[in-house]
Amino acid sequence: MARPQNSPTVLARASARLAALTDPEPHTDESLYVLSYLGLRKGVGIISLALPVVLLVGKPVLDGGGMQGSISAYYYTSMRNYFVGSLCALAVFLFSYKYAPRDNFLSTATALFALGVVFFPTTPPGDATTWTGVVHLVCAALFFLLLAYFAYFVFTRPPMPHEQVEARKRVRNRIYRSCGVTVVACLLLVPVSDLVLSDSARVRLHPLFWLETVAILAFSTSWLVKGGFLFADRPDTGSGNVADDPVGPK
């Protein structure tokens, strides 16, 4: 059977594909960039979610012993590289997160505080508090607070006037606010646990580690939801979580 005259040849299709790949002009289709927003949000959520789990499981496997009193204390164990690498990866993702100007400022500040947590390590267990330990605590607190702000205020922004707030967006907003409140509650419970629990109880129960873990799970959940990994719009409502962002899919 003869091939239709207007049918493109393999060579022509390959040439067109090569031209598209080498085109120096940026894409004009905004939906292509939305995938970057989704990917970055999912990346922040997945890296954060894995951090306490891998630290908790990895240390006994690599060098034995029990759990540490805080997530930052794993800096002084064989899990240091994973701890440092995870926070640096988070910082890179947050630096790369470019959206609205306010979001850009907040994500950059959060990334800087994440790096502060890494490059100003916590005071070694059993030592007197050092100045780097104080800077570490300040950076860690601000890191968590900004992530709580993202969840409670930024992720719950209303859609554009012409868009509908569909049922799943309302569900997501409740999740975002719950995550933000959880992070702040965990931060407030840290000094409370220091006042209420004795030294022996803190050594036995590790309240700081568990409060940090709950806070991390909370903000990672908010980023996974925002990235469309959880509670995304149903297929018949459009592609992605359209109602969450003014530009379209979430």
In this prediction the pTM is 0.78
195-238: pLDDT as tens digits? 999 988 998 999 999 999 999 999 999 989 988 887 776 655 44
The structure tokens 């040849």 sit at 9
Give the contacts of 203 (CB within 8 A, at least 6 positions apart): 69
Q: Where are the domains of the chain?
A: 34-244
Rg of the Cα atoms in the chain: 23
Looking at every residue in the chain, the average pLDDT score rounds to: 82
Q: Following CA atoms 214, 218, 220, 225 in sequence, which dihedral angle do they give, to the nearest 10 degrees?
A: 150
Categorize the per-residue pLDDT at 165 as very low, low, confident or very high, splitting at 50, 70 and 90: low
**Distance from the first to the final alpha carbon of the chain:** 48
98-126: pLDDT as tens digits? 777 888 899 999 999 999 999 999 999 88
